[in-house]
Amino acid sequence: MSAIRQNTFLYGLLACLLPLVVWLHAGVASSLKRLHGGEETAFIPSAQAVRLVALGYDQLLADFYWLAFVSYIGDSVARSYDQSVQADKYLDLVSSLDPHFTQPYWYCAFTIGSAQKRPLRANEIIQRGIRANPSNWYLPYIAGINMYLFAHDEVAAAKYYMVASKFPDAPPWLARQAVILAAKIPSTIKEINTWDTIYRSEKSAMIQTKAREKLVALWSRVYSSSPKGEIREKAKKALKELGVEV
């Protein structure tokens, strides 16, 4: 068999096997379930197990499990009960199969870091993304968000922000935020500033909703604790922009 015919045969074989691989993984994801605390929980394999049968289609299967995660996290009622307990396994799997895919790292912060209250575990996965994407400012920014909001480590967060701000395509507000985080000013101001940036820039409805809820709570606290004056009026204006009348 000539080299051309051999390559054609191999490509044809792979094209035929690809739907089979996806079908097998879909079957695993839908049928291998176990009862946990009276609720049905999807079985999520390890990255090592997936690679054994991936036939080199790691990125394709990363997309498949990413869509499964999006479906899982989209059930907000169920996630409010289980605190996104499966997010770690989903995001660890997706980022292992395709570490260059950046969106999962953002969800690491807001599911593992926030909902599960495990920011240091979230940081471990985010570090994988930083190593795989050394020229991407967005990932150290996410690491900073996670360390500030959920690990409550302003020093580490400010360092991440400053690293992110050094990239040529980083937005100019990032350096200013790094300075604010490092400054000795009230933590409420820092937190409002951070959540406001997320609320105005994030496209995910789930994360934007969470950011709005946090802003309403923070500005309401400022409004109720401030005497009449400029600060109280600023809080009132901010709450009105968020759709809350006081």
Does residue 72 form part of some domain? no
Domain count, the chain: 1
Per-residue pLDDT at 70: 92
pLDDT bracket for residue 54 (50, 70, 90) = confident
How far CA 50 is from CA of 29, 47, 128, 205, in Å, comes to 11, 5, 18, 30
Spatial neighbors of 40 by CB under 8 A, at least 6 apart, are: 33, 34
CA dist., res. 43 & res. 93, Å (int): 12
pLDDT bracket for residue 34 (50, 70, 90) = very low
- The number of beta carbons lying within 10 Å of the beta carbon of residue 115 is 18
Does residue 51 form part of some domain? no
Predicted TM-score (pTM) of this structure: 0.77
Which residue has tokens 């499990």? 65
Decide: helix, strand or coil at residue 36: strand
Token reading at 92: 């660890």
Token reading at 51: 């690679």
List alpha helices for the chain, DSSP H: 3-31, 47-52, 58-74, 76-82, 87-97, 103-107, 119-132, 138-145, 154-165, 173-182, 187-201, 205-225, 230-241
CA dist., res. 87 & res. 76, Å (int): 13
Mean pLDDT across the stretch 41-47? 77
Does residue 222 form part of some domain? yes
Per-residue pLDDT at 19: 52
On the question of pLDDT at 94 being above 50, the answer is yes
Q: Cα 217 to chain center, whole Å?
A: 22
On the question of pLDDT at 38 being above 80, the answer is no
Does residue 199 form part of some domain? yes
Per-residue pLDDT at 41: 59
Does residue 69 form part of some domain? no
220 is in which domain, residue-wise? 187-246
Query: Tens digits of per-residue pLDDT, 153-201?
Result: 999 999 999 999 999 999 999 999 899 988 888 889 999 999 999 999 8
Q: What is the residue type of 195?
A: W
Token reading at 164: 């992110």
Does residue 192 form part of some domain? yes
Mean pLDDT across the stretch 36-63? 76
Does residue 46 form part of some domain? no
Does residue 112 form part of some domain? no
In 3D, which of 107, 99, 161, 84 has the Cα closest to residue 131? 99
% of residues, the chain, pLDDT over 70:
83
- The number of beta carbons lying within 10 Å of the beta carbon of residue 102 is 16
